[in-house]
Amino acid sequence: MKMNSMVLALIALGMTFSAFALTLNSAKSQGLVGETSSGYLALVSQNAQAQTLINSVNAKRKSKYQQLAQKNNLSLAQVETLAGKKAVEKTASGHFIKVKGKWIKK
């Protein structure tokens, strides 16, 4: 019986930690990450969890950009530039974008 209680407690604890996982939207809303003209996210303020999120999202973005570049006979740099422009334009009010090397709140 004690073992079952411990297992249930560990499962509940694990579920609690996953509830605190940082999402892209929450990281943007908290001002931890922002969009850049390069098509990738960057840290606005230092946060290890946000950096892990950025690494994951940027890796997925780069993979998608490479697919689009190959499909449309463009260079990776061209796709990154186009995606960056679009991401900055679509950034919600109150979130950060990097303009000329400086973070500004849109």
Assigned domain for 1 exists: no
Cβ neighbours for 66, distance < 8 A, ≥ 6 positions apart:
76, 79
Residue 34's φ and ψ, nearest 5 degrees, are: -150, 165
Name the domain count of the chain. 1
Assigned domain for 18 exists: no
pLDDT of residue 2: 52
pLDDT of residue 10: 43
Assigned domain for 101 exists: yes
Cβ(94)–Cβ(26) under 8 Å?
Answer: no
* Positive/negative CA dihedral, 8, 10, 12, 15: negative
Assigned domain for 40 exists: yes
- pTM listed for this prediction: 0.78
Assigned domain for 13 exists: no
Q: Which domain holds residue 78?
A: 24-105
Assigned domain for 31 exists: yes
Least Cα distance to 36 among 52, 104, 76 occurs for 104
- For 8, the enclosing helix (H) or strand (E) is helix 2-19
pLDDT of residue 22: 87
pLDDT under 70 in the chain at which residues?
A: 1-21
* Helix 76-90 / helix 48-71 crossing angle, nearest 10 deg: 120
Assigned domain for 87 exists: yes
pLDDT of residue 20: 52
Assigned domain for 46 exists: yes
